[in-house]
């Protein structure tokens, strides 16, 4: 699609016209130290611990708060910069000690670190913040538990600059889990001053008013429109960012975001559709950077509390009916890693993701359906998140068309992005859906912990298998050098092949378009924008 075709639509032209004056005349207009960033989704809270905070909001935790540790950066063969899971580096903790039995972690905080209000960052703030993540429950609590952090008495303030964690047992995930967005350090004194008896953890205050020590402050938040970051010149946990201000504009229209980046009215369009990535990469005036997303899959979930999907033969029929290659070419535009067509139904390596032993075979799909309790098919809605419609909608249409050929009538249910997390993941009441979970800690058992354990947030299939739960429980904290690790992981992967609560389509990449002058852009496991290392060259 060329620029002329892109701008033919009146809706695109009018929306572009509405936005361009703001971008050009705003007092925060782009300069050498100011960048305008476009996102297609909505930030619904500035507090990552708040119940219902959505994924786009996680970027606030990354840019405005510090954690005890972070991850290093590595450069891929194509020059793209990505995080390095195997290199945990200091952030708020300048160093740490691990006891001989690997159950006690002692962190020594930076002595010169302060919150934005000038008060010192102390071990008491770390403990209050971690206690809060556990107390508020939901996703933050389960994420903390993934690292072995399950109860407040595990966290000890040794002195003002020394914080200690005692684990129930050694865990390979404990240290990296302290570098994820949830493990933020909040200004507890300020939060407590704005707490109430009904809201002891200051969720209402922190929802709109971050209280961090991070590289950027929130200068302005107009919900549904924009968020403006302003540099913290006293940041102690890394090099002072070169950008003084970053304006994050929410622009739902993909076509408008594309027009704005082509016209250089914005410096970065974050997480663009693969179609745009392919086409924009041909333009000299736009740089497209694609980075692989570790431990992430685009999948079809079959909710096993709904009767058709309790039948294993139905699940297998659907796995054989999905048009994988069409989806990969027409929805993913050939970008990513294929996850179908494995030559054997037994995994050979304890690695994840890896291809499943299913491919498009309508004859086999009909045979499996004939063996099921639904030989004549059935009707079912297939749901997807409108926030990722660029790939999810064509995927849904192709699945609808293919399943019709074996007698399953599919209707499409388009769920607004603001409602998706609650309906699909919290309430888990969609029978058949397209999802795209990614595990923050890059091990197979961590993915299975979130996506295959009953009750956990991203198990949208309501999958419940006692053997899987036992294997995950045994393996989650196990070191990879343990002889049982590989055997357990292979069996977990085998169960995913056999039981099929989730049918993988492909492993995606994160594509972003930007001005060639943008430097420092980095791809992260959390799929959110880290503006701290960015600069305009």
233-259: pLDDT as tens digits: 999 999 999 999 999 999 999 999 999
Q: Which of 157-171, 236-250, 416-430 has the lowest mean pLDDT?
A: 416-430
> Does the pLDDT of residue 281 top 50, yes or no?
yes
Looking at residue 87, its pLDDT comes to 97
Instruction: CATH 3.10.105.10 in the chain: give the residue spans.
Output: 298-507
What is residue 246's three-state secondary structure?
A: strand
Rg (the chain; Cα; Å): 24
Nearest to residue 347, comparing CAs of 262, 448, 421? 448
For residue 407, CA distances in Å to 315, 366, 403, 404 come to: 14, 8, 7, 5
pLDDT in tens, 316-339: 999 999 999 999 999 999 999 999
Looking at residue 5, its pLDDT comes to 36
> Does the pLDDT of residue 9 top 50, yes or no?
no
Which residue is listed with tokens 């992430």?
296
Nearest to residue 524, comparing CAs of 443, 409, 442, 420? 442
Q: What percent of the chain has a predicted confidence (pLDDT) above 70?
A: 94
Q: Do 306 and 534 touch, CB atoms closer than 8 A?
A: no
State the virtual CA torsion across 58, 62, 63, 66 in degrees, nearest 10. Answer: 140
For residue 490, CA distances in Å to 61, 348, 392, 458, 493 come to: 35, 7, 30, 21, 5
Q: Tokens representing 166? A: 């005692």
Mean per-residue pLDDT over the chain, rounded:
93
Nearest to residue 235, comparing CAs of 536, 537, 531? 531
> Does the pLDDT of residue 265 top 60, yes or no?
yes
Average pLDDT over residues 14-28: 43
User: Rounded to an integer, what distance in angstroms lies between the CA atom of residue 302 and that of residue 374?
Assistant: 15
442 band by pLDDT with thresholds 50, 70 and 90: very high
pLDDT in tens, 185-209: 999 999 999 999 999 999 999 999 9
Is 102 exposed, middle or buried (CB count within 10 Å of its CB: 0-12, 13-18, 19+)?
Answer: middle
User: Rounded to an integer, what distance in angstroms lies between the CA atom of residue 402 and that of residue 194?
Assistant: 55
Instruction: CATH 3.40.190.10 in the chain: give the residue spans.
Output: 3-63+214-290+511-536
List alpha helices for 136-208, DSSP H: 138-146, 174-177, 188-193, 203-208
Nearest to residue 417, comparing CAs of 55, 32, 18? 55
421 band by pLDDT with thresholds 50, 70 and 90: confident
Q: Is the dihedral of CA 239, 242, 246, 252 positive or negative?
A: negative
Q: How far is CA 434 from the centre of its chain?
A: 15
Q: Does domain 298-507 have CATH number 3.10.105.10?
A: yes
Which CATH number does 81-190 carry? 3.90.76.10
List alpha helices for 331-460, DSSP H: 362-371, 389-404, 417-420, 444-451
Output phi, psi for 12, to 5 deg: -65, -45
pTM over 0.85: yes
Looking at residue 30, its pLDDT comes to 53
What is residue 20's three-state secondary structure?
A: helix
User: Rounded to an integer, what distance in angstroms lies between the CA atom of residue 445 and that of residue 438?
Assistant: 13
- The CATH class of 3-63+214-290+511-536 is alpha beta
Average pLDDT over residues 305-314: 96
**Within 10 A of 452 (CB to CB), how many other CB atoms are there?**
25
pLDDT in tens, 372-417: 999 999 999 999 999 899 999 999 999 999 999 999 999 999 999 8
H/E element, 403: helix 389-404
Q: Do 226 and 249 touch, CB atoms closer than 8 A?
A: yes
User: Rounded to an integer, what distance in angstroms lies between the CA atom of residue 128 and that of residue 131?
Assistant: 5
User: Rounded to an integer, what distance in angstroms lies between the CA atom of residue 135 and that of residue 203?
Assistant: 12
> Does the pLDDT of residue 23 top 80, yes or no?
no
Which residue is listed with tokens 């709109």?
208
Looking at residue 519, its pLDDT comes to 97
Q: Which of 7-21, 296-310, 350-364 has the lowest mean pLDDT?
A: 7-21
Quote the Cα angle for 159-165-170, to 5°: 150
Looking at residue 403, its pLDDT comes to 98
Looking at residue 348, its pLDDT comes to 86
pLDDT in tens, 471-490: 999 999 999 999 999 999 99
pLDDT in tens, 283-294: 999 999 999 999
Instruction: CATH 3.90.76.10 in the chain: give the residue spans.
Output: 81-190
């Amino acid at each position: 699609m060329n620029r002329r075709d892109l701008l033919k639509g009146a809706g695109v032209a009018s929306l572009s016209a509405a936005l361009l004056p703001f971008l050009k005349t705003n007092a925060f207009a782009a300069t050498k130290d100011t960048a305008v960033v476009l996102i297609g989704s909505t930030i619904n809270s500035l507090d990552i611990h708040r119940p219902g905070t959505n994924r786009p909001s996680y970027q606030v935790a990354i840019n405005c708060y510090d954690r005890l540790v972070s991850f290093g950066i590595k450069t891929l063969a194509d020059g793209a910069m990505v995080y390095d899971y195997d290199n945990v580096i200091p952030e708020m903790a300048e160093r740490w000690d691990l006891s001989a039995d690997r159950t006690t972690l002692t962190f020594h905080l930076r002595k010169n670190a302060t919150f934005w209000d000038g008060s010192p960052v102390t071990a008491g703030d770390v403990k209050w913040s971690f206690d809060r993540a556990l107390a508020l429950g939901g996703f933050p609590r389960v994420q903390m538990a993934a690292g072995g952090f399950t109860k407040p008495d595990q966290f000890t303030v040794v002195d003002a600059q020394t914080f200690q964690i005692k684990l129930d047992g050694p865990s390979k995930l404990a240290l990296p889990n302290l570098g994820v967005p949830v493990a933020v350090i909040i200004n507890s004194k300020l939060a407590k001053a704005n707490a109430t008896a009904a809201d002891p953890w200051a969720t209402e205050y922190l929802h709109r008013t971050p209280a961090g020590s991070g590289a950027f402050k929130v200068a302005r938040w107009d919900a549904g429109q924009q968020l403006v970051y302003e540099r913290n010149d006293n940041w102690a946990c890394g090099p002072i960012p070169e950008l003084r201000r970053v304006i994050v504009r929410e622009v739902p229209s993909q076509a408008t975001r594309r027009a704005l980046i082509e016209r250089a009215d914005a410096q970065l369009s974050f997480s663009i559709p693969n179609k745009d990535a392919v086409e924009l990469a041909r333009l000299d005036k736009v740089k497209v950077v694609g980075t692989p997303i570790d431990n992430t899959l685009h999948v079809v979930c079959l909710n096993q509390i709904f009767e058709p999907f309790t039948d294993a033969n139905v699940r297998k029929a659907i796995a054989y009916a999905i048009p994988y290659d069409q989806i990969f070419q027409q929805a993913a535009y050939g970008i990513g890693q294929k996850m179908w067509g494995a030559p054997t139904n037994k995994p050979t390596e304890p690695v994840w993701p890896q291809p499943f032993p299913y491919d498009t075979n309508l004859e086999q799909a009909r045979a499996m359906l004939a063996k099921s309790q639904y030989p004549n098919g059935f009707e079912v809605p297939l749901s997807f998140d409108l926030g990722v419609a660029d790939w999810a909608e064509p995927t849904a249409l192709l699945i609808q068309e293919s399943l019709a050929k074996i007698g399953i009538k599919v209707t499409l249910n388009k769920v607004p992005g603001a409602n998706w997390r609650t309906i699909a993941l919290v309430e888990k009441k969609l029978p058949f859906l397209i999802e795209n979970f990614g595990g923050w800690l890059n091990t197979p058992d961590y993915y299975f912990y979130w996506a295959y354990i009953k009750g956990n947030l991203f198990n949208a299939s309501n999958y419940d298998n006692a053997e899987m739960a036992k294997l995950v429980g045994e393996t989650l904290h196990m070191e990879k050098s343990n002889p049982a690790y590989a055997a357990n992981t292979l069996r977990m992967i085998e169960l995913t092949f056999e039981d099929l609560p989730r049918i993988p389509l492909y492993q995606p990449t994160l594509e972003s378009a930007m001005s060639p002058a943008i430097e420092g852009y980095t791809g992260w496991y959390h799929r959110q924008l880290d503006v701290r290392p960015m600069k305009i060259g």
